[in-house]
């Protein structure tokens, strides 16, 4: 229990540190949120009034303490452009992003890992080389291009799904699924390819271990050795990569959300940056840091479940 | 011990080669050996001489890039002529293997009890309850304390000696006719070593399993084996009953190995070692492979590798000078 508390404390500290860094960064960079909202043609008096209203004229320590207080109460300030609380904006976009992440990860795990196992089983023989080759091509194709191709084939030629846009789950679950499946595939493709390679390499590494020989000497066939002994041992690096992929998608699938015009976190981030919506950018940075910290925590927990030699917070 | 006992395993002219991108390497170059029922046979040699590869070929679990020729006759069946999947029945049930390093040969992520049980799952029709009881029984037999608790442990939670006992339990749980023990005591403390040797002796006595005991340590081999084969660079260079081999070694290599065993009266003196190094697997030597390191070598040794020369009834060596040194 103590290790969990320690871990939790470390997580809070990390997020706090990130928030301080973002706060300081936005202090240093030139330009003011008030100016960016009013534009350069605004009257001096208008600018002064807005600055006062936003609390921009307060001393640094007041603003810092306000920011930190907001952090703990979930108040990340108000977006300049949308004039709604930043936290509300992010929460609004989360269903799309989380759905995308879950669907893409499911595809990656269900397709990538089995293909990786098969590819490792055949090693340097034809099926293994073939899978490696195809996965290499998969890694080389950028997802915006495969996204466009998918839209063209399934959205325009076959008309199975409507290209782009998002239907909320609560309105029409099947419609929501249909609007997310193509972008999920587009996101998953390159990651499937890299998971195949990681799985293959990790398994082939493990195949050299002595415990494989012992398992074979018991009379197990290669398939049972792979599934019962090797796979679990090979899982640690695969889980690590899956965590990175999950963090990437949850942090906003910027390109794919753009291609499929999905109202996800990625597009919000793009809008925030292009309109210099500083509170929103600040909130987004914090959100991404939070996602990464949380995913890392889960990965650490999964490690300890897989490998009894690993204790939380330390690796043997 | 009875050396004329019925034969269980007979290897004839076994050759093992590995195909690698750098070329074909011959790890074992035509060896013949015989293991009688209930016998403990030693194979001795430095690392890289082909001991382990020989063991793996008997188990039929050589890596894919290897080719083994010759014959391995096990109770009337030529194992080498069978396909990998046809030997699966035999493997683990009739022949089993104990590996050198039990920390790496046990699956680190599987409870040790399950690893013993797996062998029963493969080769018996016992239900899980009976398998569990059988595992507890065998754990007790190999001297593991508190089997029910130990069953649930992972390999890293046990000591080296206990792990090796688990490895032995895996090997004997199906009551095999032949156990191949590949350096089973090398990674252990001397006191634990003695316990494990005693355990293997007990298994040999009580369950009538034959044992092939592979080691680089002649002292250990002397403790446990009745017949010893000395291997050098993929060849067997001498074979004979353990006592004759020690009191009257015929091959200069065996002599060197015996001299290299530290003795009590050698305290303070420099330890003996055989000069030179083991020829690399890639070297091809027309004559005797030991010639470059041999103190007794004559001109003829460079060109010819002699066959076995009989010194006594069951004692032979591949040396021109055997029996004369």
Sign of the dihedral through C-alpha A78, A82, A88, A89: negative
Contacts 24+ apart (CB under 8 A), B25-28: B25/B281, B25/B282, B26/B234, B26/B281, B27/B53, B27/B66, B27/B234, B27/B281, B28/B53, B28/B54, B28/B57, B28/B68, B28/B234
Number of A:B CB contacts under 8 A? 75
Show pLDDT as tens, one digit a residue, over chain A (316 residues): 677 888 888 888 998 898 888 888 888 877 777 777 777 777 888 878 877 877 777 788 888 888 888 888 878 888 878 888 999 999 999 999 999 999 999 999 999 999 999 999 998 888 888 998 999 898 899 888 999 999 899 888 888 887 777 888 888 888 888 889 999 999 999 999 999 999 999 999 999 999 999 999 999 999 999 999 999 999 999 999 999 999 999 987 888 998 888 999 999 999 998 887 888 888 898 899 999 999 999 999 899 999 988 877 554 4
User: How far is Cα of residue B68 from the mean position of the Cα atoms in its chain?
Assistant: 18
Tokens of A199: 């799985």
A223 lies within 8 A of chain B by CB: no
Q: Which fold has domain A87-306?
A: MetI-like fold (1.10.3720)
What pLDDT was estimated at residue A232?
95
| Under 8 Å between Cβ of B174 and B156 | no
B118 part of contact set with chain A, CB < 8 Å: yes
Here the contacts of A267-274 (C-beta below 8 Å, separation 24 or greater) are: A267/A93, A268/A89, A268/A90, A268/A93, A271/A81, A272/A79, A272/A81
Question: Which of A187, A182, A186, A148 has its CA nearest to residue A162?
Answer: A182
Is the Cβ–Cβ distance between B25 and B282 less than 8 Å? yes
Average pLDDT value for residue range B201-219? 92
Mean pLDDT of B295-299: 89
Do A181 and A94 contact (CB within 8 A), yes or no? Answer: no
Domain boundaries of chain B, sorted by first residue: 7-94+176-317
DSSP label at residue B91: B
Touching check for B248 and chain A: CB below 8 Å?
no
Under an 8 A CB cutoff, do B167 and A211 touch? no
**Does pLDDT of B117 surpass 90?**
yes
Q: How many residues does chain A have?
A: 316
Q: Give the pLDDT band of residue B3 (cuts 50, 70, 90).
A: very low
- Name every chain B residue with its beta carbon within 8 A of the beta carbon of A309: 108, 154, 156
Does residue B70 carry a pLDDT above 90?
A: yes
Torsion angles phi and psi, residue A6, rounded to 5: -60, -45
What torsion do the CA atoms of B280, B286, B291, B297 make, to the nearest 10 degrees? Answer: -170
Indicate the SS3 state at residue B167: helix
Residue B86: which pLDDT band, with cuts at 50, 70 and 90?
confident
A197 contacts chain B (CB < 8 A): no
Q: Which two tokens stand for residue B171?
A: 């090997």
CB contact A9 to B (< 8 Å): no
With beta carbons less than 8 A apart as the criterion, state whether A264 and A97 touch. yes
Mutate to test the interface with A, among B55, B105, B186 (most CBs of A within 10 A): B105
Q: Are A179 and A162 in contact (CB under 8 A)?
A: yes
What is the value of pTM for the model shown?
0.85
Q: Which residue has the tokens 């679950």?
A: A173
Which pLDDT band holds residue B157 (cuts at 50, 70, 90)?
very high
Distance CA B14, CA B231 (A): 13
> What's the token pair of residue A30?
């030139």
d(CA A69, CA A66) in angstroms, rounded, equals: 5
- Inspect the interface and report whether the beta carbons of B154 and A232 lie closer than 8 Å: no
Q: What is the mean pLDDT of residues B95-116?
A: 93
- Please judge whether A219 and B93 are an interchain contact, meaning their C-beta atoms are less than 8 angstroms apart: yes
Q: pLDDT value at position B13?
A: 95
Architecture of domain B7-94+176-317: 3-Layer(aba) Sandwich (3.40)
Task: Give domain limits for chain A.
Answer: 19-73, 87-306
Q: Which of the 8 DSSP states describes residue B85?
A: G
Three-state secondary structure call for residue B15: strand
Closest CA to B33 of B230, B221, B184: B230
Put simply, the answer to whether A219 touches B122 (Cβ < 8 Å) is: yes
DSSP letters, B220-275, are HHHHH-SEEEEEETTEEEEEEEHHHHHHS--SHHHHHHHHTS--GGGTTSPPP--S
| CB-closest option in B99, B108, B154 to A233 | B108
* More confident call, B282 vs B32: B32
Average pLDDT of chain B is 90
CB–CB contact A232 B99 (8 Å)? no
Whole-number Å distance between alpha carbons of B228 and B244: 10
Range 227-246 of A in CB contact (< 8 A) with B:
228-229, 232-233
Find the residue in A nearest to B99 (Cα).
A214
Tell me the mean pLDDT in the region B213-223. Answer: 90
DSSP state of B169: H
> Which tokens belong to B295?
């103190």
A39 backbone φψ class: left, alpha, beta (φ>0; ψ -120 to 50): left
Distance CA B199, CA B40 (A): 13
Phi, psi (deg, nearest 5) at residue B120:
-65, -35
Whole-angstrom distance, CA of residue A218 vs CA of residue A220: 6
- Mark yes or no for CB contact B104/A211 under 8 Å: yes
Mean pLDDT of chain A: 88
CA distances (Å), B189 to each of A33, A152, B165, B166, B214, in order? 72, 69, 14, 16, 18
Q: Which of B198, B188, B127, B128 is nearest to B162 (CA)?
A: B188
**Pick from B234, B192, B230: nearest CA to B214:** B230
Residues of B in contact with A216 (CB under 8 A): 59, 61, 91
In chain A, residues with a C-beta closer than 8 Å to the C-beta of B104 are 209-211
Task: Answer whether A313's CB lies under 8 Å from A304's CB.
Answer: no
Copy the structure tokens of residue B289: 């492979």
| pLDDT score recorded for residue B266 | 67
At residue B5, the pLDDT reads 59
């Amino acid at each position: 229990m103590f290790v969990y508390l320690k871990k939790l404390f470390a997580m809070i500290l990390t997020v706090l540190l990130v928030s301080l860094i973002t706060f300081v960064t936005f202090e240093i960079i030139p330009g003011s949120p008030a100016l960016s909202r009013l534009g350069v043609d605004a009257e001096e008096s208008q600018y002064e009034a807005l600055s006062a209203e936003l609390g921009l004229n307060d001393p640094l320590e007041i603003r810092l303490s306000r920011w930190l207080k907001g952090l703990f109460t979930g108040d990340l300030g108000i977006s300049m452009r949308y004039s709604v609380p930043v936290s509300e904006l992010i929460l609004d976009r989360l269903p799309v992003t989380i759905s995308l992440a879950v669907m893409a990860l499911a595809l990656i795990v269900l397709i990538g890992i089995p293909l990786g196992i098969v590819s490792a089983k055949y090693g340097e023989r034809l099926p293994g080389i073939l899978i490696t080759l195809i996965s290499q091509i998969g890694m080389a194709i950028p997802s915006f291009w495969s996204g466009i191709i998918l839209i063209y084939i399934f959205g325009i030629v076959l008309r199975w799904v409507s290209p782009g846009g998002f239907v909320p789950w609560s309105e029409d679950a099947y419609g929501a699924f249909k609007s997310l499946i193509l972008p999920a595939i587009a996101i998953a493709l390159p990651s499937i390819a890299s998971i195949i390679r990681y799985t293959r390499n990790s398994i082939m590494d493990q195949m050299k271990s002595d415990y494989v020989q012992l398992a074979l000497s018991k009379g197990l066939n290669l398939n049972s050795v792979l599934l019962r002994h090797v796979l679990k041992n090979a899982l640690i690096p695969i889980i690590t990569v899956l965590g990175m992929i999950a963090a990437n998608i949850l942090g906003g699938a910027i390109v794919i959300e753009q291609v499929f015009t999905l109202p996800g976190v990625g597009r919000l981030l793009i809008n925030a940056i292009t309109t210099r919506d500083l509170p929103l950018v600040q909130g987004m940075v914090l959100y991404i840091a939070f996602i990464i910290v949380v995913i890392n925590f889960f990965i650490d927990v999964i490690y300890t479940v897989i490998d009894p030699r690993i204790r939380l917070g330390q690796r043997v | 011990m009875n050396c004329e006992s019925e034969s269980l395993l007979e290897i004839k002219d076994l050759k093992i080669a590995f195909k690698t991108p750098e070329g074909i390497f011959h790890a074992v170059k035509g060896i013949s050996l015989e293991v009688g029922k209930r016998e403990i046979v030693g194979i001795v040699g430095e690392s890289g001489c082909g001991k382990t590869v020989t063991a793996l070929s008997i188990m039929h679990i050589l890596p894919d890039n290897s080719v083994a020729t010759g014959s391995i006759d096990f109770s009337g069946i030529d194992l080498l002529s069978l396909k990998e999947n046809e030997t699966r029945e035999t493997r683990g049930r009739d022949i089993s293997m104990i590996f050198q390093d039990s920390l790496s040969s046990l699956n680190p992520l599987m409870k040790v009890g399950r690893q013993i049980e797996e062998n029963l799952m493969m080769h018996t029709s016992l239900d899980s309850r009976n398998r569990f009881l059988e595992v507890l029984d065998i754990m007790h037999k190999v001297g593991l304390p508190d089997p029910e608790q130990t069953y649930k442990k992972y390999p890293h939670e046990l000591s080296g000696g206990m792990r090796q006992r688990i490895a032995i339990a895996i090997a004997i749980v199906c009551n095999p006719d032949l156990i191949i023990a590949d350096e089973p005591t090398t990674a252990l403390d001397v006191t634990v070593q003695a316990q494990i040797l005693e355990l293997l002796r007990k298994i040999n006595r009580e369950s009538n399993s034959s044992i092939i005991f592979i080691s680089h340590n002649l002292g250990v081999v002397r403790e446990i084996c009745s017949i010893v084969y000395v291997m050098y660079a993929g060849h067997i260079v001498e074979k004979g009953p353990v006592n004759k081999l020690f009191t009257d070694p015929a091959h200069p290599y065996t002599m060197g190995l015996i001299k290299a065993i530290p003795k009590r009266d050698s305290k303070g003196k420099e330890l003996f070692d055989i000069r030179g190094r083991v020829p690399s697997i890639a070297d091809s030597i027309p004559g005797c492979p030991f010639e470059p390191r041999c103190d007794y070598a004559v001109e003829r040794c460079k060109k010819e590798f002699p066959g076995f020369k009989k010194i006594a009834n069951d004692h032979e060596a591949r040396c021109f000078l055997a029996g004369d040194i």
